[in-house]
Amino acid sequence: MTPTDDTVACDEPDLVRILDADGTFAPSPAAEPYLDLVEKLADTDLEQFYRDMVVVRAFDQQATTLQRQGQLALWPPSFGQEAAQVGSARAARAQDHLFPSYREHVVCTIRGVDPIDIIRLMRGMTHGGWNPYDPKNGNTHIYTLVLGSHTLHATGLGMGLVFDGRCGTGDVDRDEAVIAYYGDGASSQGDVHEAMVFAASYQTPEVFFLQNNQWAISVPVSTQARVPLAQRGAGYGIPSLRVDGNDVLASFAVTRHALDEARAGDGPRAIEAVTYRMGAHTTSDDPTKYRTSDEEASWARRDPIIRMQAYLRGRGASDAFFAGVDAEAADGAADVRERTRALGAIPVSTMFDHVYSEPHPLVEREQAWLAEYEASFEEGAR
Amino acid sequence: MSGENARPDVENLPFAKALNAGLRRAMAENDHVLLMGEDIGRLGGVFRVTEGLQAEFGERRVLDTPLAESGIVGTAIGLAMAGFRPVVEIQFDGFVFPAFDQITTQLAKITNRHEGALRMPVVIRIPYGGHIGAVEHHQESPETYFAHTPGLRVVSPSTPNDAYWMIQEAIASDDPVIFLEPKAKYWLKGEVDTTAPALPLHASRIVRRGTDVTLVGHGAMVTTLLQSAALAEGEGISCEVVDLRSLSPVDYGPLLDSIRRTGRMVYAQEAPGFLSLGGEVAATVMQEAFYALEAPVLRVSGFDVPFPPAKLEGVFLPDPDRILEAVDRVLAY
């Protein structure tokens, strides 16, 4: 069955695809320039891609369950978008800077962010969760909930890399690049367009990575654009392409290629990864109100994990390997569950701390007043 | 400067040139101070505040950006993440609003969101206010929007010396600073002492001593208040004048000290009065100095209408007549 009119077909000649939906190695004509990058991947790399997808899907499903059980305020599932996220995050080099939107749980955890930090955000314990420049977090920035705003931050950081000579030297292991994640809905935001204008003007070492998951909550991508979103890049002078975002090998190869061109000083690149949000927008959403089960079923047949599993089996991966990955995923999810339930209260002082970096008399006065006010109840109880 | 008594470290400069000198000094002292905005490089800005700086420091330190305010502020945030201290020029007050989202939902909150791990040393310079007979969106006083936003600091110098020092202090701040430049004062000349700042960034200052009533304001209104005080003196009324300088946080010390001596206060501002800075200051003064007050605090503001066409700005903007009318009323209690 083909997708409904509202979703993007995946059989266009310009689409970069390496694995077809049943896991056969069947590169599309547009994939030709990227095949050597795929051929260089070792079996351990391929197995890691698969492991990443399975482990984070289990985490994502556990987080959805935790929300249903009242442990989290909200959860935006990454279900279905694992290949686009694993491929692009594994394509980034250690020195690169990643700006997720708010559904990039796969990207964040691959770069080293502790899943419990994302949980703390969605539980209402923090507005951030981690320090991007703590080495364990792999230069992964925190989520931005105002759609598209962070694409400008990514571009500004890219300008800083240009001005400080931190890219364009020709050393791929030192030259830094930036990747900005956003979606088909955010692609309509003015900030994304201004980010592309600035990126082109200052030739930032940057990849705009658009996950077209077909739906901006209830609004189909056909409302955001009447042409493939990748075509917009040309208007800004930014080389752009479309990749099958459910194909982890293709997603990896095009992103590695684009990031390396960008870091070398060739300027920004844009990638539209065509994928599908198999879950709800968030746990507050009800997709049955706006899309059909036929459509969901047609995309389920293109599940990125099933595809990679079939490919690895064809290459001789053992049952023991798959069982091991499943066990690791189950253990990871159970660990997150246990740690979520162990999370305690947050001190009231966190509301006042860090509003400013330098002392601010009004905030200090209010914090002191609140402490006194709360202490007055303790005294009264004695 | 001439004359044998002239101090080499004191210059008589117009406000805009004092800002220019302050920016130059900050850029010379720290090579990650970077200016960005529309027409600020080759042209030197529409008010020439950045004149000559691109020629001196190069196109990577003084950026003629694309014409997109949200883009300018949003990329300034990214530059701050990369270790720069960006100083953004918004061309006119009424053009800051395309950047309002980046300023209020991003710039103001990023340090808080990162629990202090990232600092946002970004200065947003905004030429603001009336008195120049310009077209729509070129004469407004938007300070309340920013002073209302936790995470931002808001300041407004009223003299060339303050312009020179406060811009440097704002750039040195690790927090985002909205720097409101009273464009009516760009051509005002005054002494600039380049040896040391007179006051910290967030201090208010008594600029004229008096005993009967305290007049309070900021930016171009300080001049109007001083004119009002001079006129009142002719009628035997002694006015003290306080230049607020910092609009967030407000330094209430000198202000309350003054009111405890005079017992009366009139606040003047170009912005519309409803939910304005003057309203906030009046409420705090009433709370902190209730028993010292001999009369209600009065506010003289722009009317609660859009800034009018320039031919009516003289009616809209508080002038000495309207301020003295309020002085008469507080003295009648």
CATH number assigned to the domain comprising residue B159: 3.40.50.970
Q: Which of A141, A162, A163, A367 to mutate to test the interface with B (most CBs of B within 10 A)?
A: A163
Is residue B182 located within the same domain as residue B47?
yes
Which pLDDT tens digit goes with each residue over A258-280? 999 999 999 999 999 999 999 99
Name the domain boundary from B173, B193, B213.
Answer: B193
| Contact check, Cβ <8 Å, A197/B66 | yes
Name the domain boundary from B136, B168, B193.
Answer: B193
Q: Which domain holds residue B103?
A: 11-193
Which pLDDT tens digit goes with each residue over A154-166? 999 999 999 999 9
Closest residue of A to B149, CA-based?
A: A355
Cβ-contact A246, A183 below 8 angstroms: no
Is residue B121 located within the same domain as residue B261?
no
Which pLDDT tens digit goes with each residue over A88-105? 999 999 999 999 999 999
Q: Which of A157, A192, A352 to mutate to test the interface with B (most CBs of B within 10 A)?
A: A157
Average pLDDT of the segment spanning A187-205: 98
Average pLDDT of the segment spanning A312-325: 97
Question: From the list A191, A201, A355, which residue is nearest B112 (CB)?
Answer: A355
User: In this structure, is residue B145 part of a structural domain?
Assistant: yes
Cβ contacts of A364 on chain B, cutoff 8 Å:
none
User: In this structure, is residue B62 part of a structural domain?
Assistant: yes
- Position A13 scores a pLDDT of 79
Q: Does A46 touch chain B (CB under 8 A)?
A: no
Q: Which of B101, B112, B169 to mutate to test the interface with A (most CBs of A within 10 A)?
A: B112
Indicate if the pLDDT at residue B5 is higher than 90: no
Task: Return the sign of the alpha-carbon dihedral for residues A30, A33, A34, A38.
Answer: positive
Q: Does A343 touch chain B (CB under 8 A)?
A: no
- Position A3 scores a pLDDT of 46
CATH number at residue B304: 3.40.50.920
Is residue B32 located within the same domain as residue B154?
yes
Indicate if the pLDDT at residue B4 is higher than 60: no
Which pLDDT tens digit goes with each residue over A362-379? 999 999 999 999 999 986
Annotate A278-300 with DSSP letters as a single string: -S-SSTT--GGGTS-HHHHHHHH
- Position A376 scores a pLDDT of 93
Indicate if the pLDDT at residue B258 is higher than 80: yes
Name the domain boundary from B141, B166, B193.
Answer: B193
Is residue B179 located within the same domain as residue B40?
yes
> Average model confidence (pLDDT) for chain B?
96
Average pLDDT of the segment spanning A163-180: 98
> Average model confidence (pLDDT) for chain A?
95
Q: Work out the minimum CA distance from B50 to partner chain A, whole angstroms.
A: 20
- Position A337 scores a pLDDT of 98
- Position A186 scores a pLDDT of 97
Is residue B163 located within the same domain as residue B290?
no
Mention every residue, 6+ apart, whose C-beta is less than 8 A from residue A11.
Answer: none
User: In this structure, is residue B1 part of a structural domain?
Assistant: no
| Contact check, Cβ <8 Å, B66/A194 | yes
Q: Does A364 touch chain B (CB under 8 A)?
A: no
User: In this structure, is residue B200 part of a structural domain?
Assistant: no
3-class DSSP assignment, residue A165 = coil
Average pLDDT of the segment spanning B86-112: 98
User: How does residue B1 score in pLDDT terms, banded at 50, 70 and 90?
Assistant: very low
Average pLDDT of the segment spanning A322-346: 97
Which pLDDT tens digit goes with each residue over B289-306? 999 999 999 999 999 999
User: In this structure, is residue B82 part of a structural domain?
Assistant: yes
Is residue B220 located within the same domain as residue B72?
no
Q: One-letter amino acid identity for B13?
A: L
Q: Work out the minimum CA distance from B106 to partner chain A, whole angstroms.
A: 8
| B255 alpha carbon, distance to own chain's centre | 17
Number of other CB atoms surrounding residue A123 within 10 Å: 21
Average pLDDT of the segment spanning B116-137: 96
User: In this structure, is residue B198 part of a structural domain?
Assistant: no
Indicate if the pLDDT at residue B203 is higher than 60: yes
The CA-based angle A328-A330-A331, given to 5 degrees, is 65
Is residue B20 located within the same domain as residue B79?
yes
Average pLDDT of the segment spanning A294-322: 96
Question: From the list B60, B78, B153, which residue is nearest A153 (CB)?
Answer: B78
Is residue B37 located within the same domain as residue B117?
yes
Q: Work out the minimum CA distance from A318 to partner chain B, whole angstroms.
A: 44
Residue among A318, A241, A251 at smallest CA distance from A19:
A251
| Contact check, Cβ <8 Å, B82/A350 | no
Indicate if the pLDDT at residue A144 is higher than 90: yes
Indicate if the pLDDT at residue A4 is higher than 70: no
Average pLDDT of the segment spanning A326-348: 97
User: How does residue B2 score in pLDDT terms, banded at 50, 70 and 90?
Assistant: very low
Q: Does the annotation count B32 as an active-site position? A: no
| Contact check, Cβ <8 Å, A149/B115 | no
- Position A1 scores a pLDDT of 37
Is residue B174 located within the same domain as residue B25?
yes
The stretches of B43-153 forming alpha helices (DSSP H) are 53-57, 69-81, 100-101, 110-113, 143-147
User: In this structure, is residue B218 part of a structural domain?
Assistant: yes
Question: From the list A157, A355, A358, which residue is nearest B81 (CB)?
Answer: A157
Cβ-contact A128, B47 below 8 angstroms: no
Q: Does B185 touch chain A (CB under 8 A)?
A: no
Run of H or E residues at B226: helix B221-234
User: In this structure, is residue B4 part of a structural domain?
Assistant: no
- Position B281 scores a pLDDT of 98
In chain B, the number of structural domains is 2
- Position B7 scores a pLDDT of 77
Is residue B178 located within the same domain as residue B233?
no
Closest residue of B to A130, CA-based?
A: B114
| Contact check, Cβ <8 Å, B113/A353 | no
- Position A9 scores a pLDDT of 57
Question: From the list B66, B105, B118, which residue is nearest A149 (CB)?
Answer: B105
- Position B8 scores a pLDDT of 76
Is residue B39 located within the same domain as residue B134?
yes
Is residue B168 located within the same domain as residue B268?
no
Q: Does B66 touch chain A (CB under 8 A)?
A: yes
